[in-house]
Amino acid sequence: MFTEELIKTYTILTEAQFETQFPRNSVELFIGADLAYSGPEFGDLRDESVMLIFVKYGGQIAIRNAAFGQWNASARVDMIVNLLRKLRPRTMFIEQI
């Protein structure tokens, strides 16, 4: 059973804990993208695109950060290129539509 104490044992609550558990220079970095449709037919009701930045170290995987928003097609491409240039992930996974 998942008790509060058990969950606290495995939960990273601070940036310092994250850095200790996943040393920045030792992790493998990945990006996973779930891109929403964009276009005038969707208006303000369209879904948000989400890009999860996650790391792998010592058999553990953790979400490091996320970027999300209602971007049009060109803004989505800009976001992808900027994340790739800034973070230099090992791989980027993009959900196939």
Q: What pTM was estimated for this model as a whole?
A: 0.77
Residue among 67, 52, 53, 58 nearest 27 (CA): 58
Instruction: Record the tokens describing residue 29, joined without a space.
Output: 């970095």
Task: State which fold the 15-94 domain adopts.
Answer: Nucleotidyltransferase; domain 5 (3.30.420)
Number of Cβ atoms within 10 Å of the Cβ of 80: 19
Instruction: Record the tokens describing residue 27, joined without a space.
Output: 């992790």
Give Rg (Cα) of the chain.
Answer: 16
Expressed in angstroms, the distance from the first to the final Cα of the chain is 37
Domain boundaries along the sequence of the chain: 15-94
Could you read off the pLDDT tens digit of each residue along the chain, which spans 97 residues?
889 999 888 888 888 888 888 998 899 999 999 988 776 676 666 788 999 999 999 888 999 899 999 888 899 999 999 999 999 999 999 997 6
